Chain A
């Protein structure tokens, strides 16, 4: 069953066409990894799907409802965002809030959930990402990996139907990357639906149910991890994999 489907997404910044007609379908429980060289439009695609950028053209079908991306109303956008979670490359934790408040704010302010109930929910998700003992600290007192795990807990706390990850480990060293990827692996095991923009090839290969490879604003190739990594059909894909794979 398709939970999310985008069709014909176009986006330009000035004269630069960043997305040139993207189609992407994500079923419930799927982990879709979006790979590709820098500047290929992966992040822009993710941002357009969650309306952080307004696409010039394209449709979004989310959870049975269809929306014209450039024309979606504020109300529609707010409703969609309440059903989705977004994890940023540079975490974007609320700098003036403790770890606990970072997780509860979306519940207490946006959803009017009582503080006690929100905190209970926050304890659960912080425990899941292994950050419960740091709940009274401020973001600036945490390592990058810890901040990113809190960001994941914050996104999880709102019970999203789908989680978007925008290069969640790009700012982290290998050790911190591993701790974040471990959390994401657990989420995948729990059946969380995810779109992951990433450069972590081995993670994509191991965890994804579907791989999408983008270059220059179009999807060049897609398929299961096995198809994609073992038998890439496109020459751009082959070049990219040759450069990035360590194996």
Chain B
């Protein structure tokens, strides 16, 4: 059972763990998610529009990223970039790797969502005189984004937890901070359960935000 010392440790460590959650874990996930969504939309549009050469490059990018582990990608960036004289701080590097990683997955989500918009929507746009990019912007992307939103948010929730891998490239995020505290106290299990609860808390809030987001985006009058 939980003795007094453990209780005290849990209470005293909670603000420290939460601090790194709010200061590192959430910003890392949020920034990388936003950037990866922008990247995903661009990659999806290139494929949707079947732009020659660029399309092949996109397929290659998705193939590489989806076919290798995130942890390996982090390591390759960490040891590889300095060889090219690029030295950036680990947090920024984590943002870049997470963006590129998540971008590949979300690009496929967006592409599928764009392709799910009926062809008639494009034709109707042409027939009222609109150009290709105008139709993409006003008609296809909004509908695709609504379809992709739950999947994209799913990816965000995954990413919040995957940020713990950033510890491998010396980013001190929530999990690393927990390990440090645990190491000092030699009392591992309670602290790991505690950090699990904090992750769970974050993801619960995100799930709530997803629901709000879906309501905000609306469903274009479709009854749910």
Name the residue on B nearest A104 (C-beta).
B128
| CB of A76 to closest CB in B, whole Å | 13
Complex Cα distance A51/B122, Å? 13
Max chain A CB contacts within 10 Å: which of B121, B124, B131?
B124
Query: A88 with B128: in contact, given A110-B134, A140-B220, A140-B222 (CB under 8 Å)?
Result: no
- Is B124 within 8 A of A141, CB to CB? no
- Is A81 within 8 A of B121, CB to CB? no
- Count contacts between A and B, CB distance < 8 Å: 77
B146 close to chain A: CB less than 8 A: yes
Complex Cα distance A51/B223, Å? 35
Residues of A within 8 A of B63 (CB): none
- Is B131 within 8 A of A110, CB to CB? yes
Name the residue on B nearest A164 (C-beta).
B127
- Is A92 within 8 A of B120, CB to CB? yes
Given B138, B220, B221, which contacts A109 in the complex, CB threshold below 8 Å? Answer: B138
B126 close to chain A: CB less than 8 A: yes
Query: A50 with B127: in contact, given A88-B120, A90-B120, A96-B143 (CB under 8 Å)?
Result: yes
| CB of A247 to closest CB in B, whole Å | 35
- Is B127 within 8 A of A140, CB to CB? no
Query: Per DSSP, are chain B's interface residues mostly helix, strand or loop, or mixed?
Result: helix
- Is B126 within 8 A of A154, CB to CB? no
| CB of A152 to closest CB in B, whole Å | 12
B129 close to chain A: CB less than 8 A: yes
Complex Cα distance A102/B127, Å? 12
- Is B222 within 8 A of A106, CB to CB? no
- Number of A residues, CB within 8 Å of B: 31
- Number of B residues, CB within 8 Å of A: 22
Which residues 90-143 of B have a CB within 8 angstroms of A? 118, 120-121, 123-131, 134, 138-139, 142-143
Given B123, B127, B130, which contacts A85 in the complex, CB threshold below 8 Å? Answer: B127
Residues of A within 8 A of B128 (CB): 81, 85, 105-106, 110, 154-155, 158
Given A85, A139, A158, which contacts B221 in the complex, CB threshold below 8 Å? Answer: A139
Residues of A within 8 A of B121 (CB): 92, 94-95
Complex Cα distance A97/B139, Å? 8
Residues of B within 8 A of A110 (CB): 128-131, 134
| CB of B122 to closest CB in A, whole Å | 9
Residues of A within 8 A of B139 (CB): 94, 96-97, 105
Which residues 140-196 of B have a CB within 8 angstroms of A? 142-143, 146
| CB of A144 to closest CB in B, whole Å | 14
Given A84, A90, A105, A137, which contacts B138 in the complex, CB threshold below 8 Å? Answer: A105
| CB of B131 to closest CB in A, whole Å | 7
| CB of A46 to closest CB in B, whole Å | 11
A180 close to chain B: CB less than 8 A: no
Name the residue on B nearest A138 (C-beta).
B221
Complex Cα distance A200/B118, Å? 27
Residues of B within 8 A of A78 (CB): 129, 131
Max chain B CB contacts within 10 Å: which of A81, A95, A138, A155?
A95
A86 close to chain B: CB less than 8 A: yes
Query: A81 with B127: in contact, given A95-B121, A109-B138, A110-B134 (CB under 8 Å)?
Result: yes
A215 close to chain B: CB less than 8 A: no
A115 close to chain B: CB less than 8 A: no
Which residues 82-121 of A have a CB within 8 angstroms of B? 82, 84-86, 88, 90, 92-97, 105-106, 109-111
Query: A137 with B123: in contact, given A96-B143, A110-B128, A158-B128 (CB under 8 Å)?
Result: no
Please name 17 further chain A to chain B contacts, defined as beta carbons within 8 Å, in addition to the given A105-B128, A138-B222, sorted by A numbering. A81-B126, A81-B128, A86-B123, A86-B127, A88-B120, A90-B120, A92-B121, A92-B123, A93-B124, A94-B125, A96-B220, A97-B139, A111-B129, A140-B222, A141-B221, A158-B128, A158-B129
Q: Which residues of A contact B (CB under 8 A)?
A: 50-52, 78, 81-82, 84-86, 88, 90, 92-97, 105-106, 109-111, 137-141, 151, 154-155, 158
Q: Which residues of B contact A (CB under 8 A)?
A: 118, 120-121, 123-131, 134, 138-139, 142-143, 146, 220-223
Q: Which 6 A-B pairs have the closest CB atoms?
A: A106-B128, A138-B221, A86-B127, A92-B120, A92-B124, A110-B129
